[in-house]
Amino acid sequence: MQIEQLQIFEIDNPHQVSSVEVHAQVLITSWVVIALLIALPVVATRNLQTIPTGLQNFIEYVLEFIRDLTRTQMGEEEYRPWVPFIGTMFLSIFVSNWSGALLPWRVIQLPHGELAAPTNDINTTVALALLTSVAYFYAGLHKRGFSYFGKYIQPTPVLLPINILEDFTKPLSLSFRLFGNILADELVVAVLVSLVPLIVPVPMMLLGLFTSAIQALISATLAAAYIGESMEGHH
């Protein structure tokens, strides 16, 4: 199995061809995930009714789940504006992971590299983690102004280096947790398939579905927790 990257040259200037490495297979699978995530609500909100049925019921349920999640982490007063962000994190990671595990990507064979879950690339997960970092920084600064930086010396100023370090380890851990889980699951399934092609990998694939769903939940919950933590202590 190859995990090479597909190289694409950037849009060229009239006098020069510059090359930037882009992992095209991640882009393609990301676009598929985005298309899925946009198509689903558009279809489900076609015919809105007071008593929901079918697809509308389902996405309302998902929305309630995300809203509950956000409200649990951030408290009752200030969770409302962050529901879209946490929902995006959760749904994109969830659909990415499950699309990578369930859709038969190997039908399309690329010259270099192959299609899989977009989150098996460290760049994707680091991007998501940095988004979370920016989000909780923004939340803290917006809510408390420059006194946000006072949290670095809570509870005692001795912990200042640890608190600063935390700002770097948070995105690091978020990104690597997600990346490691998804990539490792793919690798294990691939190895099992190469050993025993038929029934044996199935339990591992089911476990992979389960853990990837948990990872999506964890990423979203942690994002919400970090944001909530940076917004609290306001009073």
Partner 1 sequence: MRSISEIFAPLSYWVSAAGISLNTDIFEINLINLILVLSILFYYGKGVLISLLENRERTISNTIRDAEERYTEATEKLQKARIRLQQAEIKADEIRISGLAQMDKERQDLVDAADNDLNGLEDSKNNAIRFEKQRAFEQVRQQVSRLASQRALESLNSRMTNQLHMQLIDYHIGMLRSMSNK
CB closer to partner 1 out of 20 and 51 = 51
Q: How far is the CB of 199 from partner 1 (least distance, A)?
A: 7
Which residue from 4, 8, 38, 138 is in contact with partner 1, where contact means CB under 8 A? 8
Assess 140 for contact with partner 1 (CB under 8 A).
Answer: no
Residue 73, both tokens:
């982490």
If binding is defined by CB under 8 A, does position 199 make contact with partner 1? yes
Q: How far is the CB of 183 from partner 1 (least distance, A)?
A: 17
**Running DSSP on this structure, what letter comes out for residue 13?**
B
Q: Kindly list the distances between the CA atom of residue 177 and the CA atoms of 39, 183, 218, 219, in Å, as whole numbers in the listed order.
A: 29, 10, 10, 9
Query: Closest CB to partner 1 among 21 and 167?
Result: 21
The region of 38-46, 130-138, 155-163, 204-212 touching partner 1 under the rule CB under 8 A is 204-212
Q: What sections of 6-53 are H helices per DSSP?
A: 24-44
Check if the beta carbon of residue 78 is closer than 8 Å to that of residue 231.
yes
Within its chain, how far is the Cα of 185 from the centroid? 16
CA distances from 105 to 37, 56, 199 (A): 18, 29, 19
Q: How far apart are CA 126 and CA 118, in angstroms?
A: 12
Backbone phi and psi for residue 156, each to the nearest 5 degrees, phi listed first: -130, 150
Choices 36-44, 85-93, 140-148, 205-213; region in contact with partner 1 by CB under 8 A: 205-213
Give me 58's structure tokens.
């389902």
Measure Cα distances from 157 to 63, 161, 162 in Å. 41, 9, 10
Q: Which of residues 31-50 bind partner 1 (CB under 8 A)?
A: 50
Q: Which stretch binds partner 1 (CB under 8 A): 4-12, 75-83, 119-127, 164-172?
A: 4-12
Subset of 100-139 contacting partner 1 (CB under 8 A):
101-102, 104, 106-111
Q: Which of 61, 138, 149, 168 binds partner 1 (CB under 8 A)?
A: 61
Residue from 45, 57, 147, 169 binding partner 1 (CB under 8 A): 57
Would you count residue 209 as binding partner 1 (CB under 8 A)? Answer: yes
Count other Cβ atoms within 10 Å, centred on residue 62: 17
User: Which residue, 11 or 20, has its beta carbon nearer to partner 1?
Assistant: 11
Task: Return residues touching partner 1 (CB under 8 A).
Answer: 8-9, 11-12, 17, 50-53, 57-58, 60-61, 101-102, 104, 106-111, 189, 193, 197-199, 201-202, 205-206, 209
